[in-house]
Chain A
Amino acid sequence: MRQRSIIAITAALAAGSLTLTACGSRDDKGGSSGDKTTVVIGVDAPLTGDLSALGLGIKNSADLAAKTANKEGFVKGIEFKVEPLDDQAQPSVGQQNAQKFISEKDVLGVVGPLNSSVSQQMQKPFNDAGLTQVSPANTGTELTQGDGWKTGDRVRQFKTFFRTATTDEIQGAFAADYLYNKAKVKKAYLIDDQKTYGAGLAASFKTNFTNLGGTIVGNDHVNPDDRDFNAVVAKIKKTGAEALYYGGEYPAAAPLSQQLKDSGQNIPLMGGDGVYSGDYPKLNKKAEGDLATSVGKPVEQLASAKKFIADYKTAGYKDAYEAYGGLTYDATWSIIEAVKLAVEGNDGKLPTDGRKAVLDAMSKIKFDGVTGTISFDQYGDTTNHTMTAYKIKSNAWTPEYSGVPKVG
């Protein structure tokens, strides 16, 4: 029996190793520079693991915002510093990072995280400490408006939580509107990856698509680590779906779409901003005609975005800014604006209770950012509801239609 018990222990260890990932490193903190007061902006994102490409883009974009503010002397007497921590896309690690930021007195705001599930664990500690948090990527509607949003009972959850990303509710509504009214699709198949982001988006799409008069002809859930979806794809065939809506991210969406088309079903896959990645057409040979929605107007239509892209290039970061670069820059800049307001309201000096002053200023700021005009509503959500639908044409995302969706 000894060998079998070894197998049992092994299986237990295997399960345990699921939760293990490598540790991240972080930059050493430098000393204060000259007579300027140092304000630290914390950044929490997955810097290792399979979402690290997005996380590193967030880290670099936040860094770029801080450097730009320092270079321009945007807030007199203040030197901004970015302190990135790795959350490994895990809620428990995110919470530890939150505690660390709270314990460091010169941290006046935190940008991040990437994952809604991580955010759920960080919101409460930040709220208790009165430390401002601005997420560039969290789209879970309940994060700002509470679980009651579906029934119209919207209550702000945490006074310290803001985001430059739009909600699943708005994104799902926009996707449903585009697919039903513009692409004339009446029957859609629905798949999500069971994560907070994917499931939330799929649920919002379902509600809005059905309300418009469309039919969801079937739905399924997949594992985000899977790359073989042939069994799922074979099921879609018999339903006569005219499009597939996928709530999830591009690493799984790309093979899903290709296998769908390989099976002889020439219907488009549509996704949210998690699918809107330059790598999607690279990983998917049959991406032509696939759709995705993303926040804001297309980059090439905004002068501010061009400047961001040029600056990012000049700064020489090793990793691309990815899907959330612009939103991260805006999130970081919103904290910088709030610090500016706080300093100006206190005779050019940082108030002794810097965190409270920054938090108070957050609801007052308004500026033209990379992704459009940035300000926050009574829930802490961005007031920028403009979304754009993109379509793959000759292997690249091209903007199809921009608009503000009607939610309902």
Chain B
Amino acid sequence: MNELPQQLANGLILGAMYGLIAIGYTMVYGIVQLINFAHGEIFMVGGFGALTVWLWLPKDFALGVAIPLMILGGIIVSVAVATAAERFAYRPLRNAPRLAPLITAIGLSIVLQQIVWKWYPDAKKDRPFPQFNGGPFDIFGANIQRGDLFIIIAAPICMTALGLFVTKTRSGRGMQATAQDPDTAKLMGINTDRIIVMAFAIGAAFAAIAAVAYGLKNGQVGFRMGFLMGLKAFTAAVLGGIGNIYGAMLGGLVLGVAEALATGYIGDIPGMDLFGGGAWKDVWAFALLILVLLFRPQGLLGERVADRA
């Protein structure tokens, strides 16, 4: 049987999740040129926020009805943590050398992991996350799991909403202006502090939605889940062109598909059987990243911007 449709579907679903997380990296970078390495942990706490809501609900509550509440719970926790991080960890360092906030972000990432490890009940190992009952759907020869429907529906809605927000609303245009030149934007009467908080909050909300998708897909959330996903999402953001929101999603999808195809096919090439499979997929994904950056250093959809003076 032909496994190509299946592998493409696997890759796109995984990639959409990378893309949603990558939005957070790319928006924050676009506006304050900070790579927020704690973003993977923002994603992780969102998953635990959603899980907490699920545990609070009565036992026989329908998962389909609970999901909006779980998303809300995840978003509240993620946004609260992200905006608090911005206010207390990053804002005091806004004018410090760039490495200072970067190191702060890494430190914050470790702190958040340990806080969940220490104080969330039973979080020293992976916690089970609710999943839909029932079998998969067959779409064009690919098995699509019920839990994956969530990301398939959520990702396009999120992207459309974000696109409209950035181009059509006052705050969105303020965001674009701040990204282009924060000082001039401030002179034009834009409250840049508010815009920066907003960028963190939107990224965190998207990460929380991705975390719910992760939980539904894999049936578990754990305090370490943000590390690898965060690293991959950061890669996706760079691949798509950091600073560009559509680039982040495209980068995520390309990365996801590349991983799935590398797992599925590289090992079948004669003489390459040692370099295929699940263990080497990350190597091939990063090889692709290097290749893209060689020919398009600004990323797939990135624009060549003049360096700041």
Residues of A at under 8 Å CB distance from B? 1-4, 6-7, 9-10, 13-14, 17, 20-22, 48-50, 52-53, 56, 191, 194, 220-223, 225-232, 234-235, 237-238, 251, 254-255, 258, 262-264, 279, 282-285, 319
The answer for the CA separation of A225 and B145 in the assembled complex, in Å, is 22
Indicate whether B224 reaches chain A with its CB closer than 8 angstroms.
Answer: yes
The answer for the CA separation of A50 and B214 in the assembled complex, in Å, is 18
Given A17-B37, A225-B227, A237-B1, 18 more pairs with CB closer than 8 A = A6-B98, A6-B102, A10-B37, A17-B106, A50-B222, A53-B125, A220-B278, A227-B218, A228-B14, A231-B7, A234-B6, A235-B3, A255-B220, A262-B135, A262-B136, A263-B136, A279-B125, A279-B126
Q: Which of B35, B143, B264 contacts A231 (CB 8 A)?
A: B264
Indicate whether B247 reaches chain A with its CB closer than 8 angstroms.
Answer: no
Indicate whether B187 reaches chain A with its CB closer than 8 angstroms.
Answer: no
Nearest to B305 among chain A residues (CB) is A3
Interface string of B275-304 (1 = CB under 8 A from A): 001110110000000000000010000000
The answer for the CA separation of A105 and B275 in the assembled complex, in Å, is 49
Q: For the complex of A and B, list the 4 residue pairs with the smallest distance between their C-beta atoms, beginning with the closest.
A: A221-B279, A231-B263, A222-B278, A230-B10
Q: Which of B10, B99, B219, B224 contacts A258 (CB 8 A)?
A: B219
Q: Are A237 and B3 in contact (CB under 8 A)?
A: yes
Q: Are B278 and A226 in contact (CB under 8 A)?
A: yes
A-B contacts counted at CB < 8 A amount to 139
Q: Are A234 and B264 in contact (CB under 8 A)?
A: yes
The answer for the CA separation of A13 and B107 in the assembled complex, in Å, is 11
Indicate whether B51 reaches chain A with its CB closer than 8 angstroms.
Answer: no
Would A283 and B126 be within 8 Å (CB), given that A225-B224, A255-B219 are in contact? yes
Interface residues of B in 4-29 (CB under 8 A from A): 6-7, 10-11, 13-14
Nearest to B33 among chain A residues (CB) is A3
Chain A residues contacting B297 (CB-CB under 8 Å) are 4
The answer for the CA separation of A7 and B234 in the assembled complex, in Å, is 10
Q: Are A10 and B228 in contact (CB under 8 A)?
A: no
Nearest to A54 among chain B residues (CB) is B125
The number of chain B residues touching the other chain, given as a range, is 35 or more
Q: Are A254 and B224 in contact (CB under 8 A)?
A: no
Chain A residues contacting B279 (CB-CB under 8 Å) are 194, 220-223
Interface string of B214-246 (1 = CB under 8 A from A): 100111101111011001001000100010000
Nearest to B106 among chain A residues (CB) is A17
Interface centre among B117, B126, B228, B308 (most CB of A within 10 A): B126
Would A231 and B222 be within 8 Å (CB), given that A262-B145, A263-B143 are in contact? no
Would A285 and B278 be within 8 Å (CB), given that A230-B260, A235-B3 are in contact? no
Q: What is the CB-to-nearest-CB distance from A206 to chain B, in angstroms, rounded to a whole number?
A: 15
The answer for the CA separation of A13 and B106 in the assembled complex, in Å, is 9
Q: Are B102 and A251 in contact (CB under 8 A)?
A: no
Residues of B at under 8 Å CB distance from A? 1, 3, 6-7, 10-11, 13-14, 33, 35, 37, 98-99, 102-103, 106, 109-110, 113-114, 117, 124-126, 128, 131, 135-136, 143, 145, 214, 217-220, 222-225, 227-228, 231, 234, 238, 242, 259-260, 263-264, 267, 277-279, 281-282, 297, 307-308
Q: Are B102 and A22 in contact (CB under 8 A)?
A: no
Q: What is the CB-to-nearest-CB distance from B52 to chain A, in angstroms, rounded to a whole number?
A: 17
Q: What is the CB-to-nearest-CB distance from A321 to chain B, in angstroms, rounded to a whole number?
A: 13
Q: Are A264 and B117 in contact (CB under 8 A)?
A: no
Chain B residues contacting A222 (CB-CB under 8 Å) are 277-279
Q: Are A20 and B143 in contact (CB under 8 A)?
A: no
Q: Which of A4, A10, A238 contacts B3 (CB 8 A)?
A: A238
The answer for the CA separation of A6 and B308 in the assembled complex, in Å, is 13
The answer for the CA separation of A133 and B231 in the assembled complex, in Å, is 38
The answer for the CA separation of A264 and B117 in the assembled complex, in Å, is 35
Q: Are B219 and A283 in contact (CB under 8 A)?
A: yes
The answer for the CA separation of A4 and B99 in the assembled complex, in Å, is 13
Chain B residues contacting A229 (CB-CB under 8 Å) are 278
Interface centre among A6, A235, A282 (most CB of B within 10 A): A235
Q: Are A232 and B131 in contact (CB under 8 A)?
A: no
Q: Are A52 and B3 in contact (CB under 8 A)?
A: no
Q: Which of A7, A17, A225, A237 contacts B238 (CB 8 A)?
A: A7
Q: Are B224 and A283 in contact (CB under 8 A)?
A: no
Q: What is the CB-to-nearest-CB distance from B57 to chain A, in angstroms, rounded to a whole number?
A: 18
Q: Which of B35, B136, B217, B278 contacts A264 (CB 8 A)?
A: B136
Pairs A–B under 8 Å by Cβ, sample size 15: A10-B37, A13-B106, A17-B110, A194-B279, A220-B277, A223-B278, A226-B228, A228-B218, A230-B6, A234-B264, A238-B3, A251-B125, A263-B143, A279-B126, A285-B131
Q: Are A10 and B263 in contact (CB under 8 A)?
A: no
Q: What is the CB-to-nearest-CB distance from B309 to chain A, in angstroms, rounded to a whole number?
A: 11
Q: Are A14 and B219 in contact (CB under 8 A)?
A: no
The answer for the CA separation of A222 and B126 in the assembled complex, in Å, is 18
Interface centre among B99, B143, B223 (most CB of A within 10 A): B143
Q: What is the CB-to-nearest-CB distance from A120 to chain B, in angstroms, rounded to a whole number?
A: 21
Would A232 and B263 be within 8 Å (CB), given that A237-B3, A262-B136 are in contact? yes
Q: Are A231 and B278 in contact (CB under 8 A)?
A: yes
Q: Which of B217, B219, B227 contacts A254 (CB 8 A)?
A: B219
Chain A residues contacting B33 (CB-CB under 8 Å) are 3, 6
Chain B residues contacting A227 (CB-CB under 8 Å) are 214, 218, 220, 225
Chain A residues contacting B282 (CB-CB under 8 Å) are 223
Q: What is the CB-to-nearest-CB distance from A144 to chain B, in angstroms, rounded to a whole number?
A: 28
Q: Which of A7, A53, A258, A285 contacts B35 (CB 8 A)?
A: A7
Q: What is the CB-to-nearest-CB distance from B46 to chain A, in angstroms, rounded to a whole number?
A: 16
Chain A residues contacting B102 (CB-CB under 8 Å) are 6, 9-10, 13
The answer for the CA separation of A258 and B217 in the assembled complex, in Å, is 10
Q: Are A228 and B217 in contact (CB under 8 A)?
A: yes
Q: Are A231 and B259 in contact (CB under 8 A)?
A: yes
Chain A residues contacting B103 (CB-CB under 8 Å) are 13
Q: What is the CB-to-nearest-CB distance from B261 to chain A, in angstroms, rounded to a whole number?
A: 8
Chain A residues contacting B223 (CB-CB under 8 Å) are 50
Would A232 and B277 be within 8 Å (CB), given that A14-B37, A227-B220, A264-B143 are in contact? yes
Q: What is the CB-to-nearest-CB distance from B220 to chain A, in angstroms, rounded to a whole number?
A: 5
Q: Are B10 and A231 in contact (CB under 8 A)?
A: yes
